Chain A
Amino acid sequence: QVQLVQSGAEMKQPGSSVRVSCKTSGGSFTSYTFSWVRQAPGQGLEWMGRIIPVINKMYYAQKFQGRVKFTADRSTSTVYMEMTTLKSDDTAVYYCALAYNMGFSPWGQGTRVTVSS
């Protein structure tokens, strides 16, 4: 049973960057496609993009192009999401999730990122 464990909560200043990690335990890391989804406080789910580590391909939602970068470390079965030039409306819980057909399952526990001066 594959599990995704994410890094802890972050408090950031506007204009700074954040990196969130998502470590896989169980299963075959190189066979997975990972998506990143965020949820602003009291809001719905927003798909940010996906990474396919085995072919080192990344795809980004247009809204996040140029400001978000996904990377993968096969040696630790971990994927990362880095977001730059943070703004207050980037305050959200960020989730990683595995592709399940064209859906997402399982999900990581989420990482709360707070952007505030």
Chain B
Amino acid sequence: SNVLTQPPSVSVDPGQTAKIACGGNNVGSEDVYWYQQKLGQAPVLVVYDDTDRPPGIPERFSGSKSGNTATLTIRGVEVGDEADYFCQVWESQTDHGIFGGGTKLTVL
């Protein structure tokens, strides 16, 4: 199966913009999903179908995609955004869910 690659960590100051990348051969052809997982909690979907936000997710969270790289952008980062972020695609070839390795966002 294909692999989704994320940077292990990203650090930003409060109020700045954080960008988390997710790369893989199937990113360009499959919808990308992003999850936020705070320490000791279950993951929460923050972006679906590359760019859409589920109800209740702040507009500060947005998704984009170019070629085989998807990006989660968090504008006006808050201390409460500190978490692990995972990307995910549904690999149609194998009919399996695939997750990236996760990125730890640190708010300085």
- What is the interface of chain A, defined by CB distance below 8 A to chain B? 35, 37, 44-47, 50, 59, 61, 95, 97, 100-110
Query: Which interface class (under 10, 10 to 19, 20 to 34, 35 or more) fits B?
Result: 20 to 34
Known: A37-B97, A44-B102, A100-B54. A109 touches B43 (CB 8 A): no
Whether B12 sits at the interface, judged by CB under 8 Å, is no
Bound state CA distance, A116 and B30, in angstroms? 39
CB distance from A100 to the nearest CB of B (A): 6
Whether B31 sits at the interface, judged by CB under 8 Å, is yes
CB distance from A80 to the nearest CB of B (A): 18
* Chain B residues with CB under 8 A of A108: 42
Known: A44-B100, A47-B96, A61-B96. A104 touches B88 (CB 8 A): yes
* Chain B residues with CB under 8 A of A110: 42
- What is the interface of chain B, defined by CB distance below 8 A to chain A? 30-31, 33, 35, 42-45, 48-49, 54, 86, 88-90, 95-102
Q: Which of A45, A59, A109 is packed against the most chain B CB atoms within 10 Å?
A: A45
* Chain B residues with CB under 8 A of A59: 95
* Chain A residues with CB under 8 A of B99: 37, 44-47
- Tell me whether A102 and B33 are in contact (CB under 8 A): yes
Bound state CA distance, A107 and B98, in angstroms? 16
**Contact among B42, B48, B96, B102 for A103, CB-based, below 8 A:** B48
Among residues of B, the one whose C-beta sits closest to the C-beta of A49 is B96
* Chain A residues with CB under 8 A of B54: 100, 105
Bound state CA distance, A59 and B49, in angstroms? 23
Bound state CA distance, A109 and B88, in angstroms? 19
Query: Can you list 22 A-B contacts (CB < 8 A)?
Result: A44-B86, A44-B99, A44-B102, A45-B99, A46-B99, A47-B97, A47-B99, A61-B96, A97-B43, A100-B48, A100-B54, A102-B31, A102-B33, A103-B88, A103-B90, A104-B88, A104-B97, A105-B45, A105-B48, A106-B44, A107-B43, A108-B42
